[in-house]
Amino acid sequence: MNHYSLLKHNTFGMDVYAKRFFDYSSIEELRSILKTIPADEAVLHIGGGSNLLFTHDYEGTILHSAIKGIEVIDSTDKDVLVKVGSGEVWDDFVAYCVQQNWGGVENLSLIPGEVGASAVQNIGAYGAEAKDVIETVEAIELRSGSCRTFSNAECNYAYRQSIFKKELKGQYAITHVTFRLSKTPTLQLDYGNIRAQLADKTDVTINDVRQAIISIREAKLPDPNVLGNAGSFFMNPIVSRDTFLSIQKDYPNMPFYETNGEYKIPAGWMIEQCGWKGKAQGRAAVHDKQALVLVNLGGATSDEIIALSDAICHDVKEKFGVDIHPEVNFI
């Protein structure tokens, strides 16, 4: 489709257009679309548009997977391998797994977006990350149309990172993701206030965990249908032990997560300390219940969002000496 409105393809609610837009429902359809794209044309593959900030119209072709299907490809007493189409809505997949009593993704309940993007972003929340359950990722190379299956190790996963965001950025379209889920789930209840949320339950099930996570998220995170946003606008910075200790001296109550001698500090906490929580600048604002999230109060331009983001980064750097970086992709 030519001159296509992207309004319903970005949760920030930016009213921009793409020169051309294609949805595809199969690998064959994707391959035939790829043949029509001129070699010098810019190509962008999107998912649910929940992690994007369009700064202007897109003068190229946008691709979007509508490949569906949730298929069990192997099953033992312990676990199950499930191959999922990249165009499935992530939370529909989580709901399905919970219904089957397959454990591993319940802590990732209600994350917006689609299954393909989960493997690009390595989505994570409440002590779980997509990389913990991804077995393989099948993708089509945009240039050649050839299919490649990436093992979990080949995806180079790290906090909010993968090979698809770095070395191979923009080169592949993910068509299917295969997950390994457990038939004897171990519940992960140690993050934040999950246990408190479940305090009145005995014999906690993965559905109880899902419902608790949904309540926690709904209380903190704005619904993009009401208030345009792209979830966490910034990544949590990872700092050295020395930097961490020197900040902690001044802020003994600072929350943090330690992994392998490095320290992750919640950017939302730093932004709140800078006094930004709930504040607006023009039609862009910092969400009043979670300072990591920037919101479009209605009709905000990308320039207004970026100006707010720049002001926040500046203040965090000045107060804590730490650089924070957007996790949202600017297009």
For residue 12, the one-letter residue type is: F
Question: DSSP of 297-331, one letter per residue?
Answer: -SS--HHHHHHHHHHHHHHHHHHHS----B-SEE-
Nearest-approach distance from CB 319 to ligand EPU, in angstroms: 14
Contacts of 159 (CB under 8 A, 6+ apart): 122, 124, 129, 235, 236, 238, 264
Cα-atom radius of gyration of the chain, to the nearest Å? Answer: 20
User: Closest distance between ligand EPU and the C-beta of residue 243, in Å?
Assistant: 17
Between 65 and 107, whose beta carbon lies closer to ligand EPU?
Answer: 107
Which residue number is nearest to ligand EPU in terms of Cβ?
A: 231
Other C-beta atoms within 10 Å of 270: how many? 26
Please state the closest distance from residue 236 (CB atom) to ligand EPU, in A.
5
- When the beta carbons of 7 and 219 are compared against ligand EPU, the nearer one is 219
Residue nearer to ligand EPU on the CB measure, 82 or 312: 312
Residue 106 is given by DSSP the state: G
Query: Of 175 and 229, which CB lies nearer to ligand EPU in the complex structure?
Result: 229
The verdict on whether 160 is a catalytic residue reads yes
Determine whether 232 is an active site residue.
yes
For residue 157, the minimal CB distance to ligand EPU (Å) is 14
As a whole number of angstroms, the distance between CA 275 and CA 159 comes to 27
Distance CA 95, CA 83 (A): 15
195 is known as an active-site residue: no
Residues that bind ligand EPU (CB under 6 A): 125-126, 192, 220-221, 231-232, 235-236, 255, 266, 268-269, 272, 277, 290-292, 327
Give 172: exposed, middle or buried? Use CB within 10 Å, 0-12, 13-18, 19+. Answer: buried
Helix ranges restricted to H, 77-184 = 90-100, 115-121
| Minimum CB distance to ligand EPU, residue 115 (Å) | 16
The percent of the chain in helix, strand and coil, each rounded to the nearest 5, is 30, 30, 40
Catalytic residue among 31, 160, 195, 283: 160
Compare residues 70 and 254 and give the one whose CB is closer to ligand EPU.
254
Q: Which of 86, 162, 232, 309 is catalytic?
A: 232
Catalytic positions are 160, 232, 327
